[in-house]
Amino acid sequence: RACAPYRARTKGKTENGVGYVKKNAIAGHSFPSWEAFEAHLDRWEREVANVRIHGTTGEAPIIRFARDEIHRLKPLGGLPSFGSLRELTRVVGNDCAVEIDTNSYSVPWRLIGERVAVTIAAGEVRIRHGVHQVAVHEQSKGRRLRIVDPVHLD
């Protein structure tokens, strides 16, 4: 029987791992930074979670992983494990641009005040109005920069 979307409590064992981490690794702790939080989780995983005797299997997860699963993993051949993609909606400002991560990317001036769809992937910012792609820019690595295609201002 399929579970309802966004209803974690109906998924039983699938979601139990989240509760285990919340109650055993995070509860009662505070962290001064994201890096400190990640370091804590890394240590907890290595020293607590992976070496405990699991209630269902009766063995430590790290032992079971080494015996049954690690040999089934395949190298990705230098490819990232998943595509990093963000989709946003923006309104074109009076300066013929949309703001993304503090940077300003130009679009054709005719779109001032219009809503556009923005896709950020593979180092590119692609901007669409309806079904038409209206601008493509290289994603800026800097902050507070203005990236302009002079054709957009004609």
Which of 44, 72, 100 is a domain's end point? 72
The pLDDT of residue 80: 66
Quick one: average pLDDT of 106-116?
97
Q: Is residue 54 in a domain?
A: yes
Its domain, for residue 147, covers 85-153
The pLDDT of residue 16: 73
Quick one: average pLDDT of 24-43?
93
Count: domains in the chain: 2
**Contact criterion met (CB below 8 Å) for 48 and 25:** yes
pLDDT in tens, 91-104: 999 999 999 999 99
Q: Which of 98, 120, 130, 96 is nearest to 110 (CA)?
A: 96
Same domain, 61 and 33: yes
CA 3/CA 102 separation, integer angstroms = 40
**Contact criterion met (CB below 8 Å) for 117 and 87:** yes
Same domain, 52 and 107: no
CA 38/CA 42 separation, integer angstroms = 6
What phi, psi does 127 have (nearest 5°)? -120, 130
SS (H, E, C) the chain: CCCCCCCHHHCCHHHHHHHHHHHHHHCCCCCCCHHHHHHHHHHHHHHHHCCCCCCCCCCCHHHHHHHHHHHHCCCCCCCCCCCCEEEEEEECCCCCEEEECCEEEECCHHHCCCEEEEEEECCEEEEEECCEEEEEEECCCCCCCEECCHHHHC
Least reliable range by pLDDT among 38-42, 54-58, 62-66? 54-58
The pLDDT of residue 103: 97
pLDDT at 2 over 90: no
Q: Is residue 79 in a domain?
A: no
Q: Is residue 80 in a domain?
A: no
Q: Is residue 2 in a domain?
A: no
